[in-house]
A and B are shown apart, each in its own frame.
Chain A
Amino acid sequence: MKAKHQRLILAAFALVGVAGAGVLGASALRDEAAYFRTPAEVKAGKTIVNEPMRLGGMVAAGSIKRQADGLTIDFVATDGKASIPVQFTGIVPDLFAENSGMVADGRMRADGVFVADRILAKHDERYMPPQMGDMPKDMKVAPKV
């Protein structure tokens, strides 16, 4: 066997080993590397009251209620499977809206309300001109190339 072939086989083994280790490591990180937990994940797990955590989900349609102080809002975060009421006092990003994604830093209160101390807006992967954004929902189908 030529030395070149030996090196090629060695390199192939090394590549397979590294790729395997990477996939194993990545899947082991599955929970730890998650940036937020969804309402369903929070409800399924053991939630510790007052433990700092990050909740992410869609803002449920018609759920945003502004309180009398003008700064505090209540809304419902949902992932389609479960919902968690959220309360936040402060300024939210421009993109924060009903039927849109959000991520909240905060903690669960004993009564099951998630009290957020910071809210980020999450947007989806669709981009389109404003005229198309005004169209009825069912027409907003991304063009397939």
Chain B
Amino acid sequence: MTGVISGSGQWAYVVAAYALTALLTGAVLWASWRAMAKAEKRSDALRTDGRRGGAPRGDPK
């Protein structure tokens, strides 16, 4: 009841907040990048295959 927060216990809250932010932001960044890279690779592969007139190669999943 001092009106001030002191002591080292408060760092646990700070670290938790930063770690959670890093974890979730990193996860969404990573997932978005992966999904984009996969989709664009599939799209590019299909375009070059199409130009040669053949059926699309690669797994169209």
Interface residues of A (CB under 8 A from B): 64, 73, 92, 94-98, 100
Listed residue (B1, B2, B5) with the most chain A CB atoms within 10 angstroms of its CB: B1
In chain A, what residue has the closest Cβ to B6? Answer: A94
Which of B1, B4, B5, B6 is within 8 Å of A92, CB to CB? Answer: B1
Shortest C-beta distance, B22 to chain A (Å), equals 23
**Sample of 19 A–B contacts (CB below 8 Å):** A64-B1, A73-B1, A92-B1, A94-B1, A94-B2, A94-B3, A94-B4, A94-B5, A94-B6, A95-B3, A95-B4, A95-B5, A96-B1, A96-B3, A97-B1, A97-B2, A97-B3, A98-B3, A100-B3
Return the chain B residue nearest A94 by Cβ.
B5
* Contacting residues, chain A, for B6 (C-beta < 8 A): 94
The distance from the CB of A65 to the nearest CB of chain B, in whole angstroms, is 12
Residues of B within 8 A of A97 (CB): 1-4
User: CB-nearest residue of chain A relative to B4?
Assistant: A94
Min CB gap A99→B, angstroms: 8
Name the residue among A64, A73, A94, A96 with the largest chain B CB count within 10 angstroms: A94
0 or 1 for each of B11-41: is its CB under 8 Å from A? (1 = yes):
0000000000000000000000000000000
The CA of A134 and the CA of B53, in the complex, are separated in Å by 78
Q: Please indicate the chain B residues that have their CB under 8 angstroms from the CB of A98 in the complex.
A: 3
Tell me the minimal C-beta distance from A109 to chain B in angstroms. Answer: 23
